[in-house]
Amino acid sequence: MRPFLAALGIACIACGLFAARPADMPGWQTVRVPGAWEQQDRKLAQYDGFAWYRCFVKAPKEFAGQPARLELGSIDDCDETFVNGRKVGATGRLPPDYRGLSGPRREYAVPADCIRPGEWNLIAVRVYDGGGGGGLMGGAAMRLTSPRGEIGLEGTWQFRTGDDVAWAQWPADPTSAEGRKVAESFAKIPRAAGQASVRAALTGKAEPPASLLSAWYRQPAREWVEAMPIGGGRLGAMVFGGVEDERLQFNEDTLWTGGPHEYQHEGAKAHLAAIRRLLAEGKQREAQDLAGREFMSVPLHQKAYQPFGDLRVHFTGHDTAADYRRDLDLDSAVAAVRYRAGDVTYERRAFASHPDQVIVLRLAADKKGAVSFTARLDSPHKPAQTRGLGENQLVMAGHVEDGGMKFESRLRVIAEGGRTTVKDGEATVEGADAATLILAAATNFNNYHDTSADPAQRCEAAMKAAAAKTFDDLLKAHLEDYRQLFRRVTLDLGKTAAAALPTDERLKAAARDADPQLATLYFQFGRYLMISCSRPGGQPANLQGLWNDQLNPPWESKWTTNINTEMNYWPVEVTNLSECHEPLFGLIEDCAVTGRKVAEAHYGARGWVLHHNTDLWRGTAPINASDHGIWVTGGAWLCHHLWDRYRFTCDKEFLARRAYPAMKGAATFFADFLVKDPKTGWLISTPSNSPEIGGLVAGPTMDHQIIRDLFANTAEAARILGVDAGFAARLLEMRKQIAPNQIGKHGQLQEWLEDKDNPQEEHRHVSHLWGLYPGGEITPRGTPDVFKAARQSLLFRGDGGTGWSKAWKINFWARLLDGDHAHKMVVEALGGNTYPNLFDAHPPFQIDGNFGGTAGIAEMLIQSQGDEVELLPALPKAWPTGAFKGLRARGGFEVDAAWKDGALADATFRSKLGGTAKVRYGQKVLDVQVPQGKAVVLTSDDFRR
Ligand code: FUC
C-alpha cells in the first residue's frame, strides 16, 4: 500500500493534478483513441506512469436488462477498467505490484445491472505504462456490445495523467442536471467516441435447416469471423446477415498493394561463400548479420492482399425479427437469411457465381410490395468514390495507393415492382415484390508484370452478361457449376443429437460432447472453401483464401510457402477437386520465371528458387529477416504438388507440359546449390533454416527430405517422358549423397545435421517430419526405425500449436497409423482453433488449418503415398460406423468404402484409365484389377481369405 500511495503522490504532484470537479473538468484534455498518448500531444512525449481515459456513452434503451461486453483492444501496459464506477476487469498488475501485459485484447463482461439504458454511462480506464508508448492502443474493434446493438468507442476520449480512483465515478449523478451537462458537453466534442446502433430484437427459435451440411445460426454475425463466406473463385464475400443492416464485405483476388516489381538483390552471390563458411565455423550470428546486410530481398518485405469494399443494404422498420435463422448450405453454396418482421417473412439468398463472375443477392418476401431497402457501396480504401449510373446502378471506383492498383465495382439493383431511385450514391427501392442485386468487381491486374487492364470495362462486360439473366438462371448456372465439383464426395462419420444444434453452439461443446457429424461438416466445409476460392484462371488460396477485410492483414495474407500455401492444397487431389489445384500451378509457373533471377543473383545457380513467401508480384527472394527468410526449398516443396497431381490423375500430357519443366528447373537449382559438408562428406543445403526455429543453419533435415523427393520425382518424370536420361541419372547419383535422416540421442528424428534437438521444444513447426507427411519417405514398413523416431519427435512436440500446426498433426498421426491420436487432434482443432463460422483460428484467422484439417480427415480414411492404397489406415474408435464415396487415390483410382463396428464392410474401386491397385486393409494386401471405366467391389470377405 505504501509504495502505491507514494507513487500516486509523486504522479499527482508531478502533474499538479487533483480530483476533477464535476462540471468543468479541469485537468482533463482530449485525445484520439486508439493510439499511444505519446503521439497525441508533444507534452506527453516522455510521459510514463498513471493516466486515465474516460468517455461518456448514451446506451440505447434497448440495452435494458442485457449483459454487455466491453472491447478495448490492447492497452500499454496494464489497466483497470470501470463502467459507471464499477470495476469490470483488469489486465496485468498496477503498481505497487506492477506487471505490464500489453499484448492481450481487453474484453470485459459488463453485468446487465451495470448499464443504464436510455441514460449516459461512463467508461473509465485506469492505465499504468512502465515505459515506451502508453495507452489504449487498439489493434482490434473498440466497442461496447449488447445483444441489442453496439456503441463504437473509437474517437475522442477525455484523458489525464496522474491517478485518483475517484475518477472512475461520475462527476455527479448522471440523472442530475449537472451530470447530464458534463456528458452532453463531452458528446459535443468533435468525433467524440460513442456512436450507438441498435439491433433488431430477436424472438422465437428457428428450426434447423433441412440439410445437415449447413453451418447455421440463430443470430446475425457480429464479428467478421461469424459471417458466412461465399466465393466464386476470383470474387467472394462475407455475408453478415444483419436484420436491418445487411453487409456483404467483398474481395477480389487480385487487389494488392504494390505493383509489378523484381525483388532479387543483385550482387548477393558474392557473399554466399562467406555465409556458408561462417555457418560451417559455427558462427551463426555473424552469418545472419552478413546475410541480413547483403543477401535479402529488395525491398525486404512483400506486398499485402487488400479488402475491396462493402455492399450495405439497409431495411427500415425491421426492428423485431421472429424465428431468425441464417445458414450456409454447403451443398448449394448459398448463404440464406430468414426471419419474420410483423406478418411478413423475409428471405435473402446470396451466392458468388463462378460461371457468371458476379455476386448475387436476392431479397424476397412472402407478401407483395413488402421489399423496401437502400443499398450502397463503400470501401476501406479512402480514394474510393461511389456514384450512380443510370436508373438502377452504382459504380464505386478507386485505387489502393498513389500509382497503385486500380479497382472498380458495380452494383445493379433489379427490382420486381415498386419504385427504384438512384441518388447521392445510393439506390433505394420502395414497395417491390422482390429484388436481385448483382455485384461485379475487377482490378487492372493482368499478370504479375502487367497491370494495364481496364477495371471499368471488365465490370461492364460481366454486368451486361449477368444482368441479362433472370435470378433463376443465375442460380441454376451457379448450382450446376458448383455441384459438379462438390457432389463428387460424400462422407458419413455417424451422428449424435448435437447435429441438431446451431454450429456456434456445437463448436463450443466440441471438446466435451461426441459430435462426429461436426467433423463431417468441417471436412466438407474445407472442400466448400476450396471450390469457392481456387478456380482455374484465378489466384490460388492465400493465407486467408480469398476473404480479407483488413488493409494490414496478418502476414499480409500472402502465400507463405514454408507450410501454409502447400497445406492449403493438401486436400485437393484426395478429395476429388483436382481442377482447384490449377491456380497453384499458375503461381508455380510464374515463380519458376521470377525465381530464375533470384537463383542467379543470390546463388549464381541455374534453375529457379522460391524462399518462404511470395506475393501477387511473385517475389521469390528471401524476405523479412535472415534467420528465417533464407530457406531455399519453397519452390521444391511446391513441385511436390505438380508430381502429386500427376500421380493422382496419371495425366502424362500435364506431366510433360506443366509439371516437368518446373520440376526440372527446381532440380537444376539444387544440383548447383548443394555443397559437400566438410565434416560428414554428405551433400547439404546451406544456408537455410528449419522453419522457423533455430535460425540460419547448414543442413536442416527438412530441406534434405524435400530435395530427395524432388530429385526422385524429377528423375522418374524424365523416365516416364523418355527425356533427359543423363540429367536424371545425375540427380539420382546426387540424391544418394544427400545427408540422410538421423536418429538422435533422445530417440528423436534429428531436426538438424547435429544432434541438438531440445526434447522440451513445442514449436508449432514440425518441419523435420516432412518425410512422414506430406512426403512419403518415412514409412512403417520401409523405414521402421526412422518411423519410430519421427513418432518420438512428434510426442516431444506435443499436441498444442496454432490452427495449422494442429491440422498438420492430424495428418502426422494418420500417417503414424494412430487413428485415436489423429481424432484427438481433430477434436482439439474444432474445440480450440475454429471460429463460429468454421474458419480456422491460428489465431488470427488463417485458412490453412481448414484445408489441413480436411486433408487430415481424408488421410485417416485412405492413404496411397507408397505403391499401395490403404483403406481405413487410421480409423478412430470415435467413428465406428461410416462411409465415404468418391475419395481419390494415387494411381488414378476413385474409391468408396463403408465400415461397421470399426471394421471394413466393403469398398469400390473405379478408374478412368484402368489399372491394378494394390489394396491394403490391415495386414492383408490384394492385387485388384480395375478395368477402365468399370467399378470393382471388394467385401470384408476378400480381406479375410
Ligand atoms: C509462418 C508461421 C506462422 C504463420 C505465418 C503465416 O511464418 O510460422 O505461424 O502461419 O507463416
How remote is the CA of residue 59 from the centroid of ligand 1, in Å?
41
Average pLDDT over residues 331-346: 97
Is the Cα torsion angle 805, 806, 810, 815 positive or negative in sign?
Answer: positive
Are the C-beta atoms of residues 274 and 290 closer than 8 Å to each other?
yes
Q: What pLDDT does residue 642 have?
A: 98
Index of the ligand 1 atom closest to the CA of residue 848: 10
How remote is the CA of residue 296 from the centroid of ligand 1, in Å?
19
Residue of the CA atom closest to atom 6 of ligand 1: 555
What tens digit of pLDDT does each residue of 57-99 get?
Answer: 999 998 999 999 999 999 999 999 999 999 999 999 999 999 9
Give the DSSP letter string of 652-716.
Answer: HHHIIIIIHHHHHHHHHHHHHH-EE-TTT--EE--SEEETTEEEEES--HHHHHHHHHHHHHHHH
Distance, CA of 615 to CA of 684 (rounded, Å)? 28
Locate all alpha helices (DSSP H) within 547-678, ordered by sequence: 564-568, 571-574, 582-603, 626-629, 634-649, 652-654, 660-673
Q: What pLDDT does residue 22 have?
A: 37
How remote is the CA of residue 612 from the centroid of ligand 1, in Å?
10
Are the C-beta atoms of residues 306 and 548 closer than 8 Å to each other?
yes
Index of the ligand 1 atom closest to the CA of residue 692: 8
Nearest CA to 688 out of 288, 282, 268, 298 is that of: 288
Index of the ligand 1 atom closest to the CA of residue 765: 8
629: helix, strand or coil = helix
Average pLDDT over residues 158-173: 89
How remote is the CA of residue 227 from the centroid of ligand 1, in Å?
24
How remote is the CA of residue 225 from the centroid of ligand 1, in Å?
19
How remote is the CA of residue 220 from the centroid of ligand 1, in Å?
31
Residue 357, pLDDT > 90, answer yes
How remote is the CA of residue 555 from the centroid of ligand 1, in Å?
8
Is the Cα torsion angle 475, 481, 482, 488 positive or negative in sign?
Answer: positive
How remote is the CA of residue 271 from the centroid of ligand 1, in Å?
28
Index of the ligand 1 atom closest to the CA of residue 543: 6
Give the DSSP letter string of 821-876.
Answer: HHHHHHHHHHHHSB-TTS-BBSSSB-THHHHHHHHHHHHHHEE-SSSSEEESTT--
How remote is the CA of residue 245 from the centroid of ligand 1, in Å?
35
Distance, CA of 27 to CA of 683 (rounded, Å)? 70
CB atoms near residue 320 (< 10 Å): 16
Q: What pLDDT does residue 24 have?
A: 57
Index of the ligand 1 atom closest to the CA of residue 628: 7
Average pLDDT over residues 346-374: 98
Buried b (16+ CB within 10 A) or exposed e, 492-511: bbbbeebbebbbbebbeebe
How remote is the CA of residue 850 from the centroid of ligand 1, in Å?
15
Residue 362, pLDDT > 80, answer yes
**How far is C-alpha 271 from the geometric centre of its chain's CA atoms?**
37
What letter does residue 77 receive in the DSSP assignment? S
- Report which residue type is found at 226: E
Best residue among 305, 555, 842 to mutate for probing ligand 1, ranked by most atoms within 8 Å of CB: 555
Residue 12, pLDDT > 80, answer no
How remote is the CA of residue 539 from the centroid of ligand 1, in Å?
20
Average pLDDT over residues 774-780: 98
Query: Residue 560: CB within 6 Å of ligand 1?
Result: yes
Q: Is the peptide bond before 174 cis (omega within 30 degrees of 0)?
A: no
What letter does residue 299 receive in the DSSP assignment? S
Query: Residue 689: CB within 6 Å of ligand 1?
Result: no
Index of the ligand 1 atom closest to the CA of residue 562: 1
Can you state the angle between helices 582-603 and 634-649, rounded to 10 degrees?
A: 150
Residue of the CA atom closest to atom 11 of ligand 1: 560
* pLDDT bucket at 7, cuts 50 / 70 / 90: very low
Q: What percent of the chain has pLDDT over 90?
A: 89
- What lies within 8 Å, CB to CB, of 94 at 6+ separation is 4, 50, 78, 79, 80, 126, 128
How remote is the CA of residue 624 from the centroid of ligand 1, in Å?
12
Best residue among 301, 544, 548, 563 to mutate for probing ligand 1, ranked by most atoms within 8 Å of CB: 563
Distance, CA of 351 to CA of 473 (rounded, Å)? 13
572: helix, strand or coil = helix
Residue 46, pLDDT > 90, answer no
pTM here?
A: 0.89
How remote is the CA of residue 240 from the centroid of ligand 1, in Å?
28
Distance, CA of 574 to CA of 862 (rounded, Å)? 9
Distance, CA of 743 to CA of 766 (rounded, Å)? 15
Distance, CA of 286 to CA of 695 (rounded, Å)? 12
Least confident of 102-106, 816-820, 918-922: 102-106
Query: Residue 543: CB within 6 Å of ligand 1?
Result: yes
Residue 197, pLDDT > 70, answer yes
* pLDDT bucket at 3, cuts 50 / 70 / 90: very low
How remote is the CA of residue 302 from the centroid of ligand 1, in Å?
15
Residue 4, pLDDT > 50, answer no
Distance, CA of 264 to CA of 254 (rounded, Å)? 22
How remote is the CA of residue 847 from the centroid of ligand 1, in Å?
12
How remote is the CA of residue 77 from the centroid of ligand 1, in Å?
26
Index of the ligand 1 atom closest to the CA of residue 802: 9
Buried b (16+ CB within 10 A) or exposed e, 729-765: eebeebbeebbebbbbeeebbbbbbeeebeeeeebbb
Query: Residue 555: CB within 6 Å of ligand 1?
Result: yes
Q: What pLDDT does residue 106 have?
A: 95
* pLDDT bucket at 760, cuts 50 / 70 / 90: very high
Index of the ligand 1 atom closest to the CA of residue 804: 10
How many residues comprise the chain?
Answer: 945
- Give CA separation, 922 vs 760, 777, 857, 868, 876, in Å: 34, 20, 18, 12, 14
Best residue among 689, 846, 851 to mutate for probing ligand 1, ranked by most atoms within 8 Å of CB: 846
Index of the ligand 1 atom closest to the CA of residue 805: 9
Average pLDDT over residues 149-160: 92
Q: What pLDDT does residue 501 have?
A: 98
Best residue among 548, 560, 628 to mutate for probing ligand 1, ranked by most atoms within 8 Å of CB: 560
What tens digit of pLDDT does each residue of 598-656 get?
Answer: 999 999 999 999 999 999 999 999 999 999 999 999 999 999 999 999 999 999 999 99
Nearest CA to 579 out of 233, 172, 274 is that of: 233
How remote is the CA of residue 509 from the centroid of ligand 1, in Å?
28
Distance, CA of 840 to CA of 822 (rounded, Å)? 17
How remote is the CA of residue 911 from the centroid of ligand 1, in Å?
38
Residue of the CA atom closest to atom 8 of ligand 1: 692
Best residue among 564, 802, 806, 847 to mutate for probing ligand 1, ranked by most atoms within 8 Å of CB: 564
Query: Residue 564: CB within 6 Å of ligand 1?
Result: yes
Residue 5, pLDDT > 70, answer no
Index of the ligand 1 atom closest to the CA of residue 558: 6
What tens digit of pLDDT does each residue of 458-507 get?
Answer: 999 999 999 999 999 999 999 999 999 999 999 999 999 999 999 999 99
Q: What pLDDT does residue 15 have?
A: 35
Nearest CA to 372 out of 395, 342, 334 is that of: 342
Query: Residue 802: CB within 6 Å of ligand 1?
Result: yes
Q: What pLDDT does residue 41 have?
A: 83
Query: Residue 840: CB within 6 Å of ligand 1?
Result: no
How remote is the CA of residue 223 from the centroid of ligand 1, in Å?
23
How remote is the CA of residue 851 from the centroid of ligand 1, in Å?
15
Residue 416, pLDDT > 50, answer yes
Nearest CA to 741 out of 692, 779, 697 is that of: 779
Nearest CA to 572 out of 529, 509, 511, 537 is that of: 529
Query: Residue 544: CB within 6 Å of ligand 1?
Result: no
Q: What pLDDT does residue 8 have?
A: 37
Index of the ligand 1 atom closest to the CA of residue 554: 6
What tens digit of pLDDT does each residue of 393-414 get?
Answer: 999 999 999 999 999 999 999 9
Index of the ligand 1 atom closest to the CA of residue 691: 8
